A and B are shown apart, each in its own frame.
Chain A
Amino acid sequence: DVKVTQSSRYLVKRTGEKVFLECVQDMDHENMFWYRQDPGLGLRLIYFSYDVKMKEKGDIPEGYSVSREKKERFSLILESASTNQTSMYLCASSFTGIPLHFGNGTRLTVT
């Protein structure tokens, strides 16, 4: 079974803090994705990566950055967390350019 593991299920951070969300997949997938999911807005793509050290902006990259130093790990970084970044964050991976396997999400609250 493919496993996409997000390191934290719940996270509470203060405004202005630097936040790291970690995602690891065990299927040697080239492609990894970060989405945020908000009520009424569905899933929105933040960033995706198609190879180590490669990244592409998604629809809402502002306020976020990513890091892919190893194939299995894709990190989402909030440089200075703000309250409007309170959301559910979902990581996904795939062999193709379309996400197939999702992690269980990290619910981030910024106070």
Chain B
Amino acid sequence: KNQVEQSPQSLIILEGKNCTLQCNYTVSPFSNLRWYKQDTGRGPVSLTIMTFSENTKSNGRYTATLDADTKQSSLHITASQLSDSASYICVVSPYNQGGKLIFGQGTELSVKP
């Protein structure tokens, strides 16, 4: 069964610190993997998109990595800010299945001053 598992479920860090969020998936083969940021009361916003052949993709202080062999991805946030407090969702698109997406349950990040 195609699954996307994220860890930790929630995380609290101090402002200025770095953190790494994990995403393990069983989807195979897959077309691309995305990380979304969802602020409270808002819709998800795409942070990064990686195809199966890419290892890393950055978007400002956000860096996503992908290891297609171990089926793992991580999202690293550098020098966290209060505005980084949000839910981060990992999404995998199975190969050749049109618009089907497999969503992880998200990691709730809270950045404290």
A98 touches B101 (CB 8 A): yes
The contact of A4 among B43, B46, B103, B106, by CB within 8 Å, is B43
In the complex with contacts A90-B43, A105-B41, A33-B89 CB distance below 8 A: no
B93 to A: closest C-beta gap in Å: 6
B99 touches A100 (CB 8 A): no
Say if the beta carbon of B82 comes within 8 Å of chain A.
no
Chain B residue nearest to A105 (CB atoms) is B43
Interfacial residues of chain B within 73-113, with CB under 8 A of chain A in the complex: 89, 93, 98-101, 103-106
Interfacial residues of chain A within 96-111, with CB under 8 A of chain B in the complex: 97-100, 102-105
Say if the beta carbon of A66 comes within 8 Å of chain B.
no
Per the bound structure, the CA–CA distance linking A41 and B105 in Å amounts to 6
Chain B residue nearest to A50 (CB atoms) is B99
B20 to A: closest C-beta gap in Å: 20
Per the bound structure, the CA–CA distance linking A61 and B33 in Å amounts to 25
Per the bound structure, the CA–CA distance linking A103 and B38 in Å amounts to 11
Say if the beta carbon of B1 comes within 8 Å of chain A.
no
A45 touches B44 (CB 8 A): no
B103 to A: closest C-beta gap in Å: 4
Per the bound structure, the CA–CA distance linking A44 and B91 in Å amounts to 11
Per the bound structure, the CA–CA distance linking A43 and B89 in Å amounts to 10
Per the bound structure, the CA–CA distance linking A111 and B101 in Å amounts to 31
Interfacial residues of chain A within 36-94, with CB under 8 A of chain B in the complex: 40-45, 48, 50, 56, 90-92
In the complex with contacts A97-B98, A99-B99, A40-B105 CB distance below 8 A: yes
In the complex with contacts A42-B105, A43-B103, A45-B100, A98-B42 CB distance below 8 A: no
Chain B residue nearest to A35 (CB atoms) is B103
B106 touches A97 (CB 8 A): no
Among A42, A44, A100, A104, max chain B CB count under 10 A is at A42
**Given contact pairs A92-B43, A103-B43, a sample of 5 additional A-B residue pairs in the complex whose CB atoms are under 8 Å apart:** A31-B99, A40-B105, A43-B103, A56-B99, A98-B101
Residues of chain A having any CB pair with chain B under 8 Å: 4, 9, 31, 33, 40-45, 48, 50, 56, 90-92, 97-100, 102-105
